[in-house]
Amino acid sequence: MLFAAIAVISAWGQGLTASFAADEASVPYYLMGWDSPDEFDTWTYESTSSSTWKLGNRTPSFGTIDLTNVASLILDYASGQNEVATSPAIEIRPNSTLEFYCYASGIYLVYGAWKLYAIVDDTPTLLIDQFQWAQAAGYDGPSWERFTVNLAEYAGKEVKFSFVYQGDYGEDEAIDGFRILQANDGDEAIININEGESVHFRDTSTGNVTSWNWTFEGGEPATSMEQNPVVTYNHAGSYAVTLTVGDGTTTDTKSRTAYVIVHAEAPVAHVGLPDGAYLSPWVMMFVPTEVPLTFKDASTGNPTSWMWTFEGTDITTSDLQNPTVTYLQEGTYGLKLEVANEVGSSVDEYVNTAIQAGGEQEIWNIAPEENSDLTMMEMGWYGNYAGTNWLGIGEFAEHFDAPVTDAQISQVNVYFGKTTATSTDADIEMKIMTAGDDGMPDQVLATTSVKAGDLAFDPTTVNATEFVFDEPVDIPAGTEFFAVVGPFPNNGGDDIAILLCRRDLGEKCTGYHFVYDEENYEYLETGTWYKNTDDPLSLAVAPVLSFVTSSDNTSISQPEADKQVLSHTYYNLAGMSSSKPFDGMNIVVTHYSDGTFTATKVMK
């Protein structure tokens, strides 16, 4: 007992000292900024064309990221290039990372781009292929982009790093901020991150600490009382961090000025879905005519300027961040958003088949980039979610936002992944229901059904099961609604499942299910609706909807059968084009000799 008492007295007697570190903290031990001729000459350069490595600047200069910047390593495109820039040998320390920035436009990299190699004992190993990186990242630029390479496998070795640019009239290049950093918790360490990235702080204080009070300049959150908080920095700058710890009697404070250095990042343009628009399996978005719609800028990277270009609307361009436009008549149209800041620019562009205004179209809650990831949720012996199951889940519902103008639904198309049915005569119902005060399916507006033996499925093509209503179902403006399907037969060999898009916890969820009450191991007719927030998802359930407008607009005329076919172009739902189909859902546009075209749905 005496020793225990002494230990307690000793612990309380320890001095209270505030201290902290961060997982992202590091110390640079090799720096190359290409800011002077002497610095430039520490590397070796080889040139085989009229273009040579040199000091210079691009617009915007690297000074937008590093205020101490004077110049960058520049290489202008030319014909027949095989240009090499190689560092001196550098001894790599444990826990090291290579970091550098490059400024280039993505469109010309197919003609010429660099590859970065690590050279050990005259043996090169490819680290980054700029062209392959641009393809994988969907990069368009131009903008300053940061590249990072983990050097763990080179610890203890002497390494030369070499940029090898090969091509013929490719792209102008600017490289800067080349440095090697070692993870470090010491007082000399700092944190270098880009806008939008997070820092994982760690309390390393000593003493009997019972309280923590953090202050983060420029961070979100700006304060925290957690022991080990995670903080996001969304704006460029140099920021201090302060920690005050307490033991209930005394406090101690530690501050580190300019501890977090946040670099500006070029924006990435992205068009957000306006209120009143629907996603669709076959177009990027489906919108009404004659109704003002506010498009949302969903770009990342803190853009400071915006330029929208519209087709078919009352205005053709806008420099507002979130402009409001009205589509004037039925048709298919394109859309373009270009954003920029001091670091670079980016474009999000959709071809003229991307937006359908008016008319009739399938709608669903699955984004274009998600449509190739449709899957089924199989629950082992218990069957399938959104299909045959032995868990008392009878009906499945997909929720849809309210239309901004009166609408009608003629049918609901359902995309199945499995349609095995021994109970071929069983009716599978489809209902359109409104939302009740609790947000769950409530009033039935219309009902139809399809026999289990008539469910459509073909793994090689798009083949939806059509649940057709006797009369179009009216959906008044402002009315949220559900497409509700089921129950499904489960007599032995029945094995039916609807395709769906699963997401991570906390993400978008539009899928609901009805669970029957149970008594003495028997399911009753009563039950409860649940939103599937435990496994967020959207069902591949697509009502065929048309907007009711005040005038009778006409769509683009279709070509006659005897007109000459000139070409076929495939588009995915993000607006990218190709001469071959993309994985997932496609629209193939057939161009005719008189300038008209048709659009047909296909799936690969």
Beta strands in 95-157 (DSSP E): 96-104, 112-120, 123-129, 143-150
Give me the sign of the Cα torsion angle 59, 62, 66, 72: negative
Catalogue the long-range contacts made by 306-312 (C-beta closer than 8 Å, 24 or more residues apart). 306/337, 306/338, 306/339, 307/337, 307/338, 307/339, 308/335, 308/336, 308/337, 309/335, 309/336, 309/337, 309/338, 310/335, 311/335, 311/352, 311/355, 312/355, 312/357
End-to-end CA distance of the chain: 76
Distance between CA 433 and CA 484 in Å, rounded?
A: 7
- 561-590 pLDDT, tens digit per residue, is 455 655 556 555 544 555 555 556 556 666
Q: Is the pLDDT of residue 276 over 50?
A: yes
- 418-437 pLDDT, tens digit per residue, is 999 999 999 999 999 999 99
Among the ranges given (18-22, 370-374, 584-588), the one the predictor scored with the smallest mean pLDDT: 584-588
**Domain boundaries for CATH 2.60.120.200 within the chain:** 12-265
Structure tokens at 563: 């007109």
Measured CA distances, 572 to 254, 351, 354, 587 (Å): 54, 10, 9, 7
Structure tokens at 223: 């304060």
- 140-152 pLDDT, tens digit per residue, is 778 888 899 999 9
Distance between CA 339 and CA 350 in Å, rounded?
A: 15
Distance between CA 392 and CA 378 in Å, rounded?
A: 15
* CATH fold of 277-358: Immunoglobulin-like (2.60.40)
Tell me which residue of 280, 335, 259, 339 sits closest to 304, measured CA to CA: 339
* CATH fold of 12-265: Jelly Rolls (2.60.120)
CATH of domain 368-547: 2.60.120
- Using the structure block, give the residue that is written with the tokens 């306006």: 274
Distance between CA 402 and CA 588 in Å, rounded?
A: 30
Given 3-state DSSP classes, what are the helix, strand and coil percentages for the chain, each rounded to the nearest 5?
5, 50, 40
Q: What count of residues does the chain have?
A: 604
**Per-residue confidence at 521, pLDDT binned at 50, 70, 90?**
confident
Predicted confidence at residue 159, as pLDDT, reads 97
Rounded mean pLDDT, 555-563: 43
How many other C-beta atoms lie within 10 A of the C-beta of residue 553?
16
Given a contact cutoff of 8 angstroms between Cβ atoms, the answer to whether 36 and 217 are in contact is: no
Distance between CA 444 and CA 514 in Å, rounded?
A: 15
**Per-residue confidence at 342, pLDDT binned at 50, 70, 90?**
confident
Phi, psi of 95 (to 5 degrees): 60, 45
Q: Is the pLDDT of residue 4 over 50?
A: no
Phi, psi of 169 (to 5 degrees): 55, 50
Distance between CA 85 and CA 161 in Å, rounded?
A: 8
Taking the whole predicted model, whether its pTM rises above 0.85 is answered as no
Complete DSSP assignment for 545-563? EEE--SS----PPPPPTTS
